[in-house]
Amino acid sequence: MKSGLYFRLCFFLCWLASNLLIIHAQELYLYSLPEEKVSNALQTNINWEYPNHPVIQLNGKWQLMTPDFDSTLGVVQVPCVFRNISELFFEKHFTIEHTFSREFRLHLGMLNGEVKIWLNDSLIYTHRRNFFPVTLPVDPPLLKEGDNMVRIAIKSSSYKVGTIPSFFPGAMPHIDNGMISPLFLEIMPPTSIRAVDVEPSYTDSTYGISGQIRLHTSDGKDGVYSLTLRIRDSETIYAQQKIDIPAGKKEIHFPLMGIPLPEKKTGGLYAELRLDSLKTTLDIRRVSLAARKVSIASNKLLINGVPVTLIGMNYVYQTKGGTSLFDEAIVRKDLQTIRDAGF
């Protein structure tokens, strides 16, 4: 279903009153993006960020269910957002071939509203965390070989003080509830780089990074590993160092590695971390680098650790249909327009 289009679903509540059957109908506005557009962009990003991690995409057709999940009301395209109704219930089935010695993470993107999530009838998440991406580690016994099912209930939020980040302007356009960005299940390699924490450091003429990574092995066994760290762009490697990892060590700190700021570079700078064992590559992770660190703490926006207040705004993201569904092509086009204007 194209963004900006909607279809109408009628929900009927029936009861007997004075021997008459009274039917109440409620009109629902539902907006979504085409599956191929969402899935192709998602797969491109995954292939770049962690190419050794298979994923099961959960975009596309979902069943719209009754509140008890007993009956199907229709089929909807996800990601999607909705208006004019207090709560919706979604269900999707997917298949996993092997679960033995695997670790999983469920990536749900941005979920707006009060959300509950079930995986094969087990409640795994309940929260209201508007505008922030949700990633959940999945306990392997919750999954099974063959058919699996994920259910999501989303109740509309009131968006009162405390339910949206304080740096959001008060005069925002319409804020929609729903699943705003792509969803997928990540399958971790048996030995993988579980977490990456990169700390940038820069001056007027140099740029550097330091940080740490955390390893994970599904079987718990120790091996002989090495970590190769590179600062690069799509064509040039500007700096490289190799670290031999002692047996049994799971957290590895790497010291500051600096480079002169390149005058010309192909695309953006990024850190590439490659985990090897006995000349075999086990995992690759890539992290985009920037000369400024932007973070959120205590509901405040910080740049290089300093709280900042935004006065006014020069960019508000919406699709052409006026929704907050994440369309990567529109964002990239808008950012390029801003750059071309000299900002």
CATH of the domain at 133: 2.60.120.260
Residues 113 and 237 in one domain: no
Domain boundary among 188, 207, 232: 188
Asked if pLDDT for residue 312 goes beyond 70, the answer is no
Per-residue pLDDT of 229-245, as tens digits, reads 998 888 889 889 999 98
Share of the chain above pLDDT 70, in %: 74
Asked if pLDDT for residue 127 goes beyond 70, the answer is yes
Position 6 scores a pLDDT of 38
Least confident of 66-75, 205-214, 321-330: 321-330
Q: Which residues, in sequence order, are bridge partners of residue 185?
A: 56, 106
Asked if pLDDT for residue 204 goes beyond 90, the answer is no
| Total domains in the fold of the chain | 3
Query: Rounded distance, CA 129 to CA 149, Å?
Result: 23
Residues 94 and 114 in one domain: yes
Mean pLDDT across 17-33: 54
Residues 120 and 207 in one domain: no
Residues 45 and 124 in one domain: yes
Query: Rounded distance, CA 25 to CA 41, Å?
Result: 38
Asked if pLDDT for residue 2 goes beyond 70, the answer is no
Residue 81 in any domain: the answer is yes
Residues 127 and 203 in one domain: no
Residue 197 in any domain: the answer is yes
Q: Which residue has the tokens 């087990």?
A: 122
Residue 333: phi and psi, rounded to 5, are -65, -45
Per-residue pLDDT of 157-192, as tens digits, reads 765 555 555 555 555 556 778 998 889 999 988 888
Per DSSP, 27 falls in state B
Residues 171 and 195 in one domain: no
What is the residue-wise DSSP string for 152-190?
EEEE-----TTSS-TTS-TT-----EEE-S--EEEEE-S
Q: What is the pTM of this model?
A: 0.74
Q: Is 80 in contact with 31 (CB distance < 8 Å)?
A: yes
Q: Which residue has the tokens 């002692």?
A: 246
Residues 203 and 98 in one domain: no
Position 211 scores a pLDDT of 86
Query: Rounded distance, CA 264 to CA 335, Å?
Result: 20
Which pLDDT band, with edges at 50, 70 and 90, does 59 fall under? very high
Residue 149 in any domain: the answer is yes
Residue 9 in any domain: the answer is no
Asked if pLDDT for residue 146 goes beyond 80, the answer is yes
Residues 82 and 129 in one domain: yes
Q: Is 265 in contact with 281 (CB distance < 8 Å)?
A: no
Residues 212 and 254 in one domain: yes
Residue 26 in any domain: the answer is no
Provide the domain limits for residue 228.
191-288
CATH of the domain at 280: 2.60.40.10
Q: Going along 233-317, which residue ranges are E strands?
A: 237-245, 251-260, 270-277, 280-288, 294-297, 300-303, 306-307
Position 97 scores a pLDDT of 86
Q: Which residues, in sequence order, are bridge partners of residue 151?
A: 91, 118
Residues 200 and 246 in one domain: yes
Asked if pLDDT for residue 57 goes beyond 90, the answer is yes
Which pLDDT band, with edges at 50, 70 and 90, does 63 fall under? very high
Averaged pLDDT score across all residues of the chain: 79
Nearest to 211 by CA among 201, 199, 226, 200: 199
Per-residue pLDDT of 254-291, as tens digits, reads 887 877 766 665 568 899 999 999 889 999 999 988 76
Residues 276 and 227 in one domain: yes
Residue 316 token pair = 């508000």
Residue 103 in any domain: the answer is yes
Domain boundary among 269, 288, 307: 288
Asked if pLDDT for residue 3 goes beyond 70, the answer is no
Residue 1 in any domain: the answer is no
Residue 201 in any domain: the answer is yes
Residues 165 and 251 in one domain: no
